[in-house]
Amino acid sequence: MSRNETYVKAVGRALADAMRADERVFVIGEDVAEGGPYTTTAGLSEEFGRERVRNTPISEAAITGVAIGAAQSGMRPVLEIMYIDFLTLALDQLVNAAAKAHAMSGGQLTVPLVLRTQGGAGQRGGAQHSQSLESWLTHVPGLKVVMPSGAADAAGLMAAAILDPGPVVFVEHKALYFRREDVPETIEPIELGRARTVRTGDDVTIVATSRMVGEALAAAQELAEEGIEAEVIDPRTLVPFDLDTIVASVRRTNRLVVAHEAVVHGGFGAEVVAAVQEAAFDDLDAPIGRVGAPFAPIPFSPPLEDAYLPGRQQLVDAVRRLSVGSPSLRLPYIGAGLTSA
């Protein structure tokens, strides 16, 4: 049994299920008792009360610090940082406290918290409300990083994140919130660190994250009309990362394109490229392509933001450059709005 549900409602239902199952789970953040900025937590305060759905002042450092203390005391907080851009104000708590407490205490402390936040552009939020900063988080030992691309995965991964004994950063994309998908009636946890092959193909592997998974599927459909069958893989979690699934695919297709919405420079795609070429260098028949945004602040102007965002066309162009018999295999990445690197 399943229900057709939006991404945002699927996350909210996973939260409600976890709160019903475990009284230690509570929600904390700015305006969460009123539903939060995108209605994810709507209805929770009515069911569970404001002791377990707590509004906070506008202080990301305070929200995170309180959640860490509660987690170390045996609770399971789910905190919301309204926009990933504002993680800058909570990084000291998240990186120097939450991520390190277990190791520095010799295993005596655990920090079972989930930090929910919204990333991504396309909503006319400007440069300070539209960034994709997940690569910052993947560089910190002790943090797990989750990036669901659809409603069903968002629900199952949220269930798993709440059960995890350590801190998990759960990055949701604003542009995906109101897209619908069939979600199981009973939400079961999806193992963190297990990729999903969204589309099978034999000619090229596309590894895409979050919003770019849908763009990769659209690109694969266009490429199929040209006789190029692309395999699309969604890692779902960046830490832990399912390298084995991707390497197995590359060993069949012999070509790889990595795509994310974040700027190409220093993005998580660079880690994927390095890991794959180390594991499967002899299987690659072409340089690995990279698709992402240009190295510039995100424009507020709608036409400029649309031009800035990577999508289907950049993926199609990148794959074409790596296709069988192509004389042009020299472009290491394609950034939206860029022609060379």
pLDDT in tens, 301-312: 999 999 999 999
Instruction: Give the phi and the psi of residue 88 in degrees, each rounded to 5.
Output: -55, -30
Q: What is the pTM of this model?
A: 0.93
pLDDT in tens, 268-294: 999 999 999 999 999 999 999 999 999
* Residue 67, pLDDT above cutoff 90: yes
Output the pLDDT for position 36: 95
pLDDT in tens, 164-192: 999 999 999 999 999 999 999 999 999 99
Question: What mean pLDDT do residues 109-113 have?
Answer: 97
Q: Identify whether 231 is a catalytic site residue.
A: no
Output the pLDDT for position 199: 98
Which residues are registered as beta bridge partners of 77? Answer: 26
Output the pLDDT for position 336: 54
Output the pLDDT for position 304: 97
Residue in 60, 134, 181, 215 annotated catalytic: 60
Q: Which helix (H) or strand (E) holds 29?
A: strand 25-29
Q: Confidence band (pLDDT; 50, 70, 90) for 339?
A: very low
Domains of the chain plus CATH, in order, are: 2-184 (3.40.50.970), 196-335 (3.40.50.920)
Say if CB 187 and CB 15 are below 8 A apart. no
Question: What mean pLDDT do residues 194-206 have?
Answer: 98
Q: In the sheet where 76-81 sits, what is the strand order?
A: 53-55, 25-29, 76-81, 114-119, 168-173, 144-146, 237-239
Q: Identify whether 60 is a catalytic site residue.
A: yes
Rounded CA separation 224/164 (Å): 40
Residue in 30, 102, 129, 305 annotated catalytic: 129
337 burial class (0-12, 13-18, 19+ CB within 10 angstroms)? middle
Residue whose C-alpha is closest to residue 260's, from 150, 156, 144, 131: 131
* DSSP secondary structure, 45-111, as one string: HHHH-TTTEEE--S-HHHHHHHHHHHHHTT-EEEEEESSGGGGGGTHIIIIIIITTHHHHTTTS---
pLDDT in tens, 223-272: 999 999 999 999 999 999 999 999 999 999 999 999 999 999 999 999 99
* Residue 340, pLDDT above cutoff 70: no
* Residue 107, pLDDT above cutoff 70: yes
* Residue 323, pLDDT above cutoff 80: no
